[in-house]
Structure 1
Amino acid sequence: MNKSVYRSLFKLVAFSCLSIMVVSVYGQKLPKKGQLLEQLRLANNYFMEKWPDAGKTIITNKERPANIWTRAVYYEGLMALYTIDKDKRYHDYATQWGEKHQWAPARDLFTRNADNQCCGQTYIDLYRLDKNPIQLKAIKENIDAMVNSDKVDDWNWIDAIQMSMPIFVKLGVTSNDTKYFDKMYALYSHTKNQQGGKGLYNRQDKLWWRDKDFVPPYKEPNGEDCYWSRGNGWVVAALVRVLDELPASDPHYQEYLQDLKDMLGALAPLQRKDGFWNASLHDPTNFGGKEASGTALFTYGMAWAMNKGLVEKKAYMPIVQKAWNALSKESLHENGFLGYLQGTGKEPKDGQPVTYTSKPDFEDYGLGCFLLAGTEVYRLISQ
């Protein structure tokens, strides 16, 4: 039997087993709304108390500004938490962060680097609440420069899709201008279909290679393609955040929706028995083990899709139950610290070892992923 046929049969059998899993796994109930909210508050308070100055630079192997992508992802999660927990401290903390960085992209006002633009997602969210033009000015000028150029190959690694793509949809909705949607698709399409020679999306496996370095002939130790968990999680999160705002009349809406549903279908049978996903999605022997950031992003996508009625709850509820219980019971410490978080990098071997007590080089983005997931699970419980 050739490899492609084997994969197809494996996925068919694995996913069909989900209906059987419902019987045994529905016993893993999600927490009550109040209990889940306390879990989110615990994790968030740990971080806010550790970093009271939102402008303090981040020092690891070198000093970095505090509005880089890692911190920006945290604020995405904080703003999501604010939608279900109207604590003024959250708004004030995010506002302090924006003010101390002059509401500008990280490092360079005219950057085209998605990592440096990611902070703009929160700036725009705050502008929608406060209607203060200074909150919008710099990020809009930055993205306008991209819209007004012909260049479309900026997102040459899949993390970039999450860091920048939602900014385009937010500006398009806020400004009521479809030019942002059009440019967003041009950038996304290049990454998906052309980057690295044939695009970074594998239509056969419904998953993404992280960048051109991992496009075949690159293989994992077991001979499979390398699909990095968190990298694919970034794409899931980006598609969720785009579809949450993009008008359904947009000519590319259905493509984004199909890509998300296809990814969720491919990820479902890859979940570990303990509720987590491995860092390497198709090779559990390559630094296999519990990993919270990819798990949180997949939970975010699946819970959101159920909340919107886009996927069958019968199939996905057991997966989300297992995943959230794993995150909240095994990753979340009593003091709010999150364990099993892989540090920064681009592939399974980076940031290892990943354990309950290991501390990643940056604590912020993992918390952001946790808050995004928890907010959607809270809404799922509310239904």
Structure 2
Amino acid sequence: MNHNKSITLIFVCLLFSVNLFAQTQKEEKARNPEYEVPYELPTITGIKDALNSIRVYYESTSTQTIINAETGIEITNISSPNKNAIVSKGFSSEWSYTHGVVLSAFDYIDNVTGDKRFFNNNTKFYDFVIQYRPYFQKQAQTYGAREKIGAWGRILNFHALDDCGSITAAMIKTYQKDKNEEYLELINITADYISNKQLRLKDGTLARHRPQYQSIWADDIYMSVPFLANMGKLTGDNKYFDDAIKQIVQMAERLYVPEKSLFDHGWSVTSGDYDPRFYWARANGWTLMAMTELLSATPVDYPNRDKVLHLYRSMIRSLATLQNGSGFWHNMLDKPDTFLETSATAMFTFVIAKGINEGWINHVYGPVAITGWNAINSRILEDGAVDGTVEGTTFAHDNTYYYNRGTSKYATHGYGPALYAGAEMIRLLQNRNIEIEPTRANARNSTFHFRLKNEWPVKGTSTN
């Protein structure tokens, strides 16, 4: 009997020890952070793989052909126009501002990596446009002009900055490399439209009669400034740089809110000083993307460039504090109960990494860019589609609208920014002026540290 009691006591003690050990292990594990998105330093190889997967998805979206809208059959004989001819559907066939961002990003990836598979898409698309645009001009002359030509929209008759600014900015970049003189006609038509035909306020600020009479949109900073900046580079005419800077500065006078260091989505003459404010993430992303393009194109001492740089730096500082713990930013930047959105996160990641690489902002913002990229990467699907991007969004006047926008991998606004972000992250990881201390796996207290190498003494030398 005593022997059995002893065995039972030993068993109880062992069971207690095992339970205590398991509880201790559980408590120890609970003391370590559990990250929603991997909190780790990305690799250049991993980023390149992500960019390539997006490229492959992009290339798969369209045949880039002319088809009969009624039968779906490809039209190969272009000697005479067909009334039902349209451009085949698909992202890679579009004459659209979102496609312009992708093609600009492809050009940039080519600059960063030298991988010609990206830029080859630029030449292919713009040659396609040049080849078939005269065909649709003949179609319009024969059957009467249509407002839109399938995926090419209003390519024959621009009605808004969306119709030409971003997509033709990428065309300029493509021309700078392949020197196809046939591109110049559309480039010059766009320059004339933006400079002389697009609606402007009395002070020259680009505007729309939508949704209110004489409205300005933060989005239009991107729909105009990158084209103007690249037109300045192409022609050497400072009037384009001057107009680009004027657009940012004068739109900021109506849209930028110093207390938030953010841009309101839109403003109208009607509501004036008491216009309601909505800090939509992608609108702020468009603004910063445009500023980045202009800062890259103009000399450091160019008149009023410092005003743009101040806006850029102030916005970056604000955005760092508004980033969600996952690495994403919210659809409404100042409202953490709105959903986490991909396209704006990609835009912010790009402009922050770019600012560090160019020396426009301090290197301590590096972890913001890393966590932003890791968040974006979590939304790149196996087939290369970029998910979680908010659908096209108008300039609205109520939170309910912004809160309830849909998201989709078919919202093409996220692809170009994701490509740009990846390219700039490669540059950041290759930045020889910066030393990056990565996080330690399964560590209780570990973060990224970016250090500027020239601030620190060489190892082994005295600090006295």
> In 2 relative to 1, CA 180–269 (structure 1 residues): closer, same or farther, beyond 3 Å?
same
2:374 is aligned with 1:325: yes
Corresponding residue number in structure 1 for 2:47: 36
Q: Distance in 1 between matches of 2:336 and 2:221?
A: 25
- Contact map agreement 2:249 2:307 (CA 8 A) in 1: no
Structure 1 counterpart SS, 2:106 = helix
Q: Report the equivalent of 1:244.
A: 296
Cα deviations by residue, 1:27-54 (Å, 9 ceiling, x for unpaired)? 9332221111111111221121222427
Q: Which residue of 2 aligns with 1:116?
A: 163
1:209 to 252, 264, 267: 264
Superposition deviation, residue 312 in structure 1: 1.8
* Counterpart residue identity of residue 175, structure 2: Y
Counterpart of 1:336 (choices 354, 361, 384) is 384
Matched, 1:107 2:187: no
Q: 1:302 aligns with which of 352, 365, 378?
A: 352
Deviation (angstroms), 1:176: 1.1
For 1:79, which of 94, 107, 115 is the aligned residue?
107
Contact 2:346–2:418 at 8 Å: present in 1 too?
yes
CA distances 1:104-161 after superposition (whole Å, capped 9, x unpaired): 8961556362211221111101111012222233222431454457942324211111
- Give the Cα–Cα distance (whole angstroms) in 2 for the partners of residues 351 and 244 of structure 1: 34
* Residue type of the alignment partner of 1:203: P
**Structure 1 counterpart SS, 2:130:** coil
Query: Shift in Å at residue 102 of structure 1?
Result: 2.8
- Give the 5 Å matches for 1:126-145: 126-144=174-192
Change (3 A) 1:226 1:301: same
Whose relative contact order is higher, 1 or 2, with alpha carbons under 8 Å and at least 6 apart? 1
Alpha-carbon distance between aligned partners in 1 of 2:421 and 2:65, rounded to the nearest angstrom: 23
**Cα displacement (A) at 1:208:** 0.8
Q: What letter matches 2:350 in structure 1?
A: Y
> Structure 1: how far apart are the matches of 2:272 and 2:57?
39
Q: Deviations over 1:297-341 (max 9, x none)?
A: 000110000101222222x1121111111111x211122122211
- Aligned residue for 1:280? 332
Shift of 1:74: 1.9
Structure 1 residues 337 and 108: CA distance shift in structure 2, 3 A: closer
Contact residue 109 and residue 142 of structure 1 kept, 8 A: no
Are 1:163 and 2:223 matched, yes or no?
Answer: yes
Please state whether the residue corresponding to 1:261 is helix, strand or coil: helix
Are positions 1:188 and 2:248 aligned together? yes
TM-score calculated relative to the size of structure 2: 0.66
Matches of 2:315 and 2:353, distance apart in 1: 14
Matched residues, number: 337
The higher radius of gyration belongs to 2
SS in 2 for 1:79: helix
CA contact (8 A) 1:109 1:138 kept: no
| Paired residue secondary structure (2:109) | helix
Aligned residue type for 2:376: L
Give the corresponding residue for 1:262: 314
In 2: Cα distance, 1:133 partner to 1:274 partner: 47
Higher strand fraction: Structure 1 or Structure 2?
2
TM-superposition CA deviations, 1:66-113 (whole Å, max 9, x none)? 112122222222222222333433333212221233398961556362
Amino acid at match of 1:376: E
Looking at structure 2, the residues matched to 336 and 233 of structure 1 have their Cα atoms a distance apart, in angstroms, of 22
CA contact (8 A) 2:64 2:128 kept: no
Provide closer, same or farther for how the CA distance between residues 371 and 381 of structure 1 changes in structure 2, counting only shifts above 3 A: same
Q: Deviations over 1:273-300 (max 9, x none)?
A: 1110000111123xx1221111000001
Give the secondary-structure state (helix, strand or coil) at the position aligned to 1:212: strand
1:9 is aligned to: none
In structure 1, give the amino acid aligned to 2:339.
G
Letter in structure 2 aligned against 1:132? N
Structure 2 Cα separation of the partners of residues 40 and 52 of structure 1? 21
Indicate the RMSD between aligned Cα atoms, in angstroms: 2.9
Match of 1:3 in 2: none
Contact persistence 2:265–2:283 (CA under 8 A)? yes
1:290 alignment counterpart: 340
Aligned-residue offset at 1:267:
0.9
Which residue is 1:67 aligned to?
95
